Structure 1
Amino acid sequence: MNSHPDHAGETLTDRQQAVLDAVLALMVEQGGDVTMTAVARRASCSKESLYKWFGDRDGLLSATVRWQASKVRAGNYDRTRLDALALRDSLVRFAANWLGVISSPTSIALNRFAIAQAGARGSNLGAIMLANGRFAIGARLKPVLEAGREAGLIAFDDTETAFRTFLGLVGRDVQIRLLLGDTLVLAAAEIERDAARATDQFFTLYGTEKPGPGRDKINA
């Protein structure tokens, strides 16, 4: 069996994860920059430990973005026995995870801060967010899409285009509305419905057969 679980973030210790959660909490509360001193105080650890674990401040921010992005996971699947229902479930799980993460106060605060810093001279946060957020998430989902193509379940010429289409169907205008202060509240049930709807729309565009009861295998 060739399973593909998502292991992002598993190399962090519980103590280090707590530190990164402290960074996110400070960003939500302060709505902006955080210092190593403030993080050490909130996480009840020394600055020496922060430098040892994460290097400099950019290293801490990179780890924080990776930690937040690691919460976006596709479901496990067996590449050698992938069928339409398993592929759909994996994509729905990814979509629901992603919607839940981007609509959380922590992600909103992190993205707002990154946008504010994007034009600042000497700031690397924008590049950090892209590398460890959007691009890392793409690297996590693209193998799922390619496995679906190899199994004959979906058809597309360019993986990046298919990934961006899927992300657009899932995200719609949710993230930009939240970043601009819209009081949009996504309950868990609504997230699940939106994730399923977006995945079904993706299958309509790229699927070789719509997944459904009694149609587990394509061309069976």
Structure 2
Amino acid sequence: MQASTLTIEEPPIERPSPRQQAVLDAALALMVDGRDPLTMDAVARRASCSKETLYKWFGDRDGLLTATVRWQASRVHAGRYEVSGLDADTLRDNLLDFAESWLAVISSRTSVALNRIAIAEAGSAKSNLGGIVLANGRFAIGERVKPVLEAGRAAGLLAFDDGEAAFRTFFGLVGRDIQIRLLLGDALDLDAAGIRSDAARAVEQFLALYGQAKP
């Protein structure tokens, strides 16, 4: 009997150096703090580096914001997968891994602060932070998770016509109203056990909608 495997094929992503990671964490901390505007000067002061170094590494403010969003989104466990003897347990485990890590990220103070700034700037000409968050957050994660769903369909474990529609359903079941409530200041008590329970519930609901027995 062939063992079930799921081969990860992560897309090539240039990982920031440790010093660059410290700068990106400083930018996120600045957003959480909320006392100073998010400028290159403010990030340089918070990260104890020169503004010239920031421009060398990231180009401009939008470049820095793009790198910051990508750094935050990298905490979500999702990748490209190639199916080989995929079974229901392996599929469920990988969906649970994504759901749990995504819930942990969006419920963090840094993500809430980042999204609040993106929403505040979306209606102004200050920056394209809203587009940056969409492109490097939700859309990028979708392109990394949809292959998992396609692998499940290829293995006869999932049934759907449109991979994007199936992903949006899964995404909605995982997130529910949590993100909007956090953005509006609701003090949700989301500990690790609660996040895992919510993630498991979302996965089971998704499989109830799209799952089918492997022939």
Cα displacement (A) at 1:161: 0.4
Aligned residues of 2:121 and 2:130 also touching (Cα < 8 A)? yes
CA contact (8 A) 2:78 2:141 kept: no
Calculate the TM-score normalised by the size of structure 2. 0.92
What percentage of residue pairs aligned between the two structures are identical?
67
Q: Deviations over 1:15-38 (max 9, x none)?
A: 111111110000000167311111
Q: Which residue of 2 aligns with 1:214?
A: none
Q: What is the identity, as a one-letter code, of the residue corresponding to 1:23?
A: A
The root-mean-square deviation of aligned C-alpha atoms, in Å, is 1.9
Which of 58, 62, 71 does residue 66 from structure 2 map onto? 62
User: Aligned equivalents of 1:93 and 1:31: distance in 2?
Assistant: 35
- Structure-2 separation of matches of 1:96 and 1:6: 19
Distance 2:209 2:134 in 1: 27
Q: Normalising to structure 1: TM-score of the pair?
A: 0.90
| Aligned with residue 177 of structure 2, among 158, 173, 176 | 173
1:81-123 CA-partner distances (Å, limit 9, x unpaired): 3111001000000000000000000000000000000100252
Q: Which residue in the other structure is 1:151 paired with?
A: 155
- State how far apart, in whole Å, the 1-side matches of 2:120 and 2:79 are: 34
Flag structure 2 segments of 5+ consecutive residues without an equivalent: none
CA shift, 1:47, in A, is: 1.1
The count of corresponding residues between Structure 1 and Structure 2 is 211
**Alpha-carbon distance between aligned partners in 2 of 1:51 and 1:75, rounded to the nearest angstrom:** 30
Structure 1: stretches of 5+ with no match in the other structure: 210-217
2:38 equivalent to 1:34? yes
Partner SS for 1:3: strand
Pair 40,71 (structure 1): closer, same or farther in 2 beyond 3 Å? same
Which one is further off, 28-37 or 154-163? 28-37
Deviation at 1:150, TM superposition (A): 0.9
- Whether 1:139 aligns to 2:139 is no
Q: Is the 8 A contact 2:11 2:80 kept in 1?
A: no
